[in-house]
């Protein structure tokens, strides 16, 4: 639940970044929150919780794959299709 929430809080930190004139806050907030979670795990249980490791792995894979898919021909096709749906 916490990792899913960290995944979706980026829209909020991005807006705060624009509000205070520090646009990198959005992308920087994800690693900062994940390191905070790791530190919390280590402090409270002396090891990183498996759910934390799993969530970090999923987030890292999505960060690598998202720009690749976005720039691909499949990404263009998806965008056109969804644009027609959203109108």
Partner 1 sequence: MSALLIALVFVGFARTLFLRSSFGTLDPALGTPQMPWHLYLHGGLLTTWFVLLLVQTTLVASHRTDLHRGLGVLGGVVAVLVVVVGVWTVIASIPRNVLAGIDETGRRINLFGNLATLIVFILCIGRALVLRRQPDSTGV
Q: Measured between alpha carbons, how far is 40 from 49 in angstroms, rounded to an integer?
A: 10
Count Cα neighbours of 40 within 13 Å in the Cβ-side half-sphere.
10
Q: Considering beta carbons, is residue 22 or 85 the nearer one to partner 1?
A: 85
What's the closest the beta carbon of residue 61 comes to partner 1, in angstroms? 9
What's the closest the beta carbon of residue 14 comes to partner 1, in angstroms? 7
Our measurement of the distance from residue 82's CA atom to the centroid of its chain's CA atoms, rounded to an integer in Å, reads 22
Please, what is the Cα angle at 4 between 11 and 45, to 5 degrees?
Answer: 125
Applying CB under 8 A, does 77 fall inside the site for partner 1? no
Give me the residues that bind partner 1 (CB under 8 A), please. Answer: 1-16, 19, 29, 33, 36-37, 40-41, 49-52, 54-55, 58-59, 62-63, 65-67, 69-71, 75, 78-79, 82-83, 85-87
């Amino acid at each position: 639940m916490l990792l899913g929430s960290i995944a979706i809080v980026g829209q909020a930190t991005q807006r705060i970044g624009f509000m205070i004139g520090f646009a990198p806050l959005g992308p920087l907030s994800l690693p900062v929150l994940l390191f905070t979670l790791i530190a919390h795990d280590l402090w409270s249980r002396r090891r990183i919780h498996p759910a934390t490791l799993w969530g970090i792995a999923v987030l890292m894979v999505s960060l690598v794959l998202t720009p690749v898919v976005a720039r691909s021909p499949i990404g263009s096709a998806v965008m056109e299709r969804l644009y027609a749906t959203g109108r």
